[in-house]
Amino acid sequence: MNGKLSNFWKLFGKPGVVSTQAEAAISSQEQQRGSTHLVEFDQNDPVIQYFQSAPGVVEIEKLIFDSPTLRTLKAAGVKLTVPLVSQGELIGLLNLGPRLSEQEYSADDHGLLNNLATQAAPALRVAQLVREQQIEVQARERIEHELRVARLIQQTLLPKGLPDLPGWQVATYYQPARAVGGDFFDFIPLKDGRYGFVIGDVTDKGVPAALVMATTRSVLRSAAEQFSSPGKVLERANDLLCPDIPERMFITCIYAILDPNTGHMVFANAGHDLPYRRCGDGVEELRATGMPLGLMEGMEYEQKEIMIGTDETILFYSDGLVEAHNPSGEMFGFPRLREKMAYHPGGKELIEYLLDELKSFTSTGWEQEDDVTFLILERTEGSVSDREADKSNHPFVEKEWQTLAEFSLASEPGNEREATRRVAEVVESLNLDRAKLERLKTAVAEAAMNAMEHGNKYQPDLPVKIRVQTNSAALSVQITDYGTGQQIPQPEIPNLEAKLAGEQTSRGWGLFLIKNMVDELNVTVDEKHHTVELVIYQEGGKHG
Amino acid sequence: MADQPFDAQIRKVNDAVIIDLFGDIDAFADQSLDESYRKAVSSGAQAVLLNFTGVHYINSTGIALIVRILAQSQKSGIALLTYGLSSHYQEIFEITRLADFITIFPDEMSALTGLETA
């Protein structure tokens, strides 16, 4: 065909999703053959609707519409337009300018163009579909790649191992959702022998969440080195994160510091789901208030403390569990979690149990909506006698002990002062600083008094034996009585308010005092004796 | 340091009564400490100052005795203050949280000034 021009087109969107704008490439009369320019068409233009239903070649000059598209086509010198229709949908226009011979298009030309359009339309449609598919595949690949990056960031930064704390069992579970939420946890060993535990959740998903999580982790680690109280650590982290965090993103997080020797745990919470404590009396929430990190500068964080007793379990978790939905749209929820926890004896097996409960709640085919994370802390050997049996866990056991003195005292009221005096005399050569010496004296007096009063029932013929030992790292005072079979109760934090209100006896301070005066309190029992060992570290230790 | 039997003396300063404590505060101090507190209160004192300058030993039973006195003073609305505690026993007052309820002053002068401005 000797037409001056030729081509055109436009590519509409997906079939059925017709965009309001369409484009066509038009070759103007003045331009060289084959060159094109794009014209945008309004899909609601009456002429476009006409093209859609036209039976074949349309002579542009014969059309009378009030139509911007038509004006554009005419201005571009288009003589004939062949609508390309596939499955009832207009997918492009084949536009022709005047013939180079300046003659009119013949009936044969019309027939040829109609034939061409019938074959070109489906081919064009196939090409369009292939292109759409390629774009989709590329987009999917990009998303998959992003998710891989997000997962990689998270998995690289989550701790590789668990802290090895004698007398404690630590367990974790982390299952990212397909879209990778921003859950994280961390363990931070502290210089004073205590251990920091972090669990958190960044709002948002994917790479942005992973990057904020990475930043939060570093900020928390540096704050934890700087401050020894969890409230201060969160306060500092919040102030550091606030200026840099993207809008509408924030982090909920708990920071807890555990003293593995005593079971004392102090914690603060930046808007994270409240941890649960599984203890003899059931399940209780560990509540401390504070705003999430990254929302507002200058926030303060409430700090709470507890003593974790033997066989008690603390569960930290993320919202992926409590906010999971079942097929009827019901949420797993906090009451259910609490109830399930109360049924279970606790420990790391709790994770398996909760996952089973989650599985049966959501039923098969559930697509995990958010990351699910658990961090479990269980005190397995509170009565230090167990630990004593496993000497390999003792930090100073490999260092050889030297006995400084061994003596016996009659079990008489007031004789604990004699015990204190003699121990103070014996350790004089060690040059303990004054505060440490005073603490040791108070601890020895209390322990000796317990031995005489409770162990030996003040029977004058039953002596209390005292042995003082030292090595390069620590000082040990062992106080032995004849109280067999008795287990030393776990020291609890006395409830001063209840004592003042007359609801409790004003007594009951002894064990609490001892525990606070020394770095270790170990108890051993054999068939005939009951021994309390007080250990004070030469360097560092509880009181620096 | 040998055992020092407990003893307590009472002095009245303005509306306050100072109880000068001497010796060890343990089970043996029980009656004497209670008695001196009762005497201080019966003199119409609005505030009782415990002077620990002469005390070098307080054990867990002694802590219980102080808790008992604090409970009585709270019930009758009498302020309880202390001074003269060694740094070790100040630490123990903090650990036991007695310091949350009993203000600790370094000496008599600051305690009396603290009382006036309170």
The answer to whether the beta carbons of residues A96 and A6 sit under 8 Å apart is yes
**pLDDT of A392:** 43
- Could you give phi then psi for residue A67, rounded to 5 degrees? -145, 125
B62 found inside a domain: yes
Q: Give the closest-approach CA distance of A419 to chain B in angstroms.
A: 11
The answer to whether the beta carbons of residues B55 and B25 sit under 8 Å apart is yes
The answer to whether the beta carbons of residues A240 and A221 sit under 8 Å apart is no
Q: What's the start-to-end Cα distance of chain A, in Å?
A: 98
Which of A433, A454, A509 is the best mutation test for B, with the most CBs of B within 10 A?
A509
Residue A422 near chain B (CB below 8 Å): no
CB atoms within 10 A of CB A239: 16
Structure tokens at A49: 């609707």
Q: Per-residue DSSP letters for A42-111?
A: ETT-HHHHHHHH--S-EEGGG-----HHHHHHHHTT--EEEEEEETTEEEEEEEE--BTT-PPPPHHHHH
Interface of A with B in 137-176 (CB under 8 A): none
Domain tally, chain B: 1
CA distance A19 to A13: 6
B1 found inside a domain: no
**pLDDT of B36:** 93
CA distance B37 to B57: 19
Residue A296 near chain B (CB below 8 Å): no
Chain A residue numbers touching B57 (CB-CB < 8 A): 417, 445
Query: Given an 8 Å threshold on Cβ–Cβ distance, is A413 in contact with B60?
Result: no
Task: List residues of B whose CB lies inside 8 A of any A CB.
Answer: 1-3, 24, 26-28, 57, 59-61, 63-65, 67-68, 70-71, 74, 86-88, 91-92, 95-98, 100-101
Three-class secondary structure of residue A16 per DSSP: coil
> Could you list the residue range(s) of the whole structural domain that residue B34 is in?
7-117
When pLDDT is cut at 50, 70 and 90, the band that residue B118 belongs to is low
Query: Given an 8 Å threshold on Cβ–Cβ distance, is A421 in contact with B68?
Result: no
Three-class secondary structure of residue A342 per DSSP: helix
**Element containing residue A524 per DSSP (H, E):** strand A520-525
Q: A371-386, pLDDT tens digit by residue?
A: 889 999 999 875 444 4
The pTM score is 0.46
The answer to whether the beta carbons of residues A509 and B81 sit under 8 Å apart is no
Nearest chain B residue (CA) to A514: B60
Q: Per-residue DSSP letters for A263-328?
A: TEEEEEEESPPPPEEEETTEEEE-----PPBTS-TT----EEEEEPPTT-EEEEE-HHHHT-B-TT
Percent of chain B past pLDDT 70, that is, above it, reads: 97
The answer to whether the beta carbons of residues A518 and A443 sit under 8 Å apart is yes
User: What number of residues does chain B have?
Assistant: 118
Q: Give the closest-approach CA distance of A414 to chain B in angstroms.
A: 8
CATH classification of the domain holding B56: 3.30.750.24
Distances (CA, A) of B71 to A497, B42, B65, B76: 9, 16, 10, 9
**pLDDT of A524:** 77
Q: Per-residue DSSP letters for A386-452?
A: HHHH-GGG-TTTTSPPEEEEEEEEE--TTTHHHHHHHHHHHGGGGT--HHHHHHHHHHHHHHHHHII
**pLDDT of A4:** 33
Sketch the domain layout of chain A as residue ranges: 21-130, 158-379, 384-537
Residue A6 near chain B (CB below 8 Å): no
Chain A residue numbers touching B92 (CB-CB < 8 A): 442, 513
Which of B1, B4, B34, B60 is the best mutation test for A, with the most CBs of A within 10 A?
B60
Nearest chain B residue (CA) to A498: B71
The answer to whether the beta carbons of residues A200 and A254 sit under 8 Å apart is yes
Mean of the per-residue pLDDT values for chain B?
91
CA distance B86 to B1: 15
CB atoms within 10 A of CB A243: 8
| A21-130: CATH topology | Beta-Lactamase (3.30.450)
CA distance B57 to A424: 14
CATH number, domain A158-379, options 1.10.150.130, 3.60.40.10, 3.40.50.1000, 2.60.40.650:
3.60.40.10
Residue A425 near chain B (CB below 8 Å): no
Q: Give the closest-approach CA distance of B33 to chain A in angstroms.
A: 15
Q: What's the start-to-end Cα distance of chain B, in Å?
A: 37
Q: Which of B1, B59, B63 is closest, CB to CB, to A449? A: B59
**Element containing residue A258 per DSSP (H, E):** strand A251-259
Residue A446 near chain B (CB below 8 Å): yes
Instruction: Kindly give the parts of chain A with pLDDT less than 50.
Output: 1-24, 27-32, 383-398
CA distance A35 to A94: 14
Q: Give the closest-approach CA distance of B6 to chain A in angstroms.
A: 13
CA distance A216 to B105: 43
Q: Give the closest-approach CA distance of A418 to chain B in angstroms.
A: 8
Nearest chain A residue (CA) to B100: A496
CB atoms within 10 A of CB A369: 16
The answer to whether the beta carbons of residues A100 and A3 sit under 8 Å apart is yes
Distances (CA, A) of B27 to A482, A539, B34, B94: 23, 34, 12, 21
Residue A35, classified by CB atoms within 10 Å of its CB into exposed (0-12), middle (13-18) or buried (19+), is middle
Placement of tokens 């001497």 in the chain: B22
Distances (CA, A) of A296 to A216, A473, B111: 15, 46, 42
Q: Which of A417, A449, A507 is closest, CB to CB, to B64? A: A507
Beta strands in chain B (DSSP E): 7-13, 16-25, 47-58, 79-83, 103-105
ipTM of the complex: 0.93
Residue A259 near chain B (CB below 8 Å): no
Chain A residue numbers touching B59 (CB-CB < 8 A): 416, 442, 445-446, 449
CA distance A357 to A340: 8
Structure tokens at B90: 């100040």
Q: B72-106, pLDDT tens digit by residue?
A: 999 999 999 999 999 999 999 999 999 999 999 99
Residue A408, classified by CB atoms within 10 Å of its CB into exposed (0-12), middle (13-18) or buried (19+), is exposed
| A384-537: CATH topology | Heat Shock Protein 90 (3.30.565)
**Mean predicted confidence (pLDDT) in B46-65:** 94
**pLDDT of A29:** 46
Query: Given an 8 Å threshold on Cβ–Cβ distance, is B91 in contact with A435?
Result: yes
Size of interface A-B (CB pairs under 8 A): 65
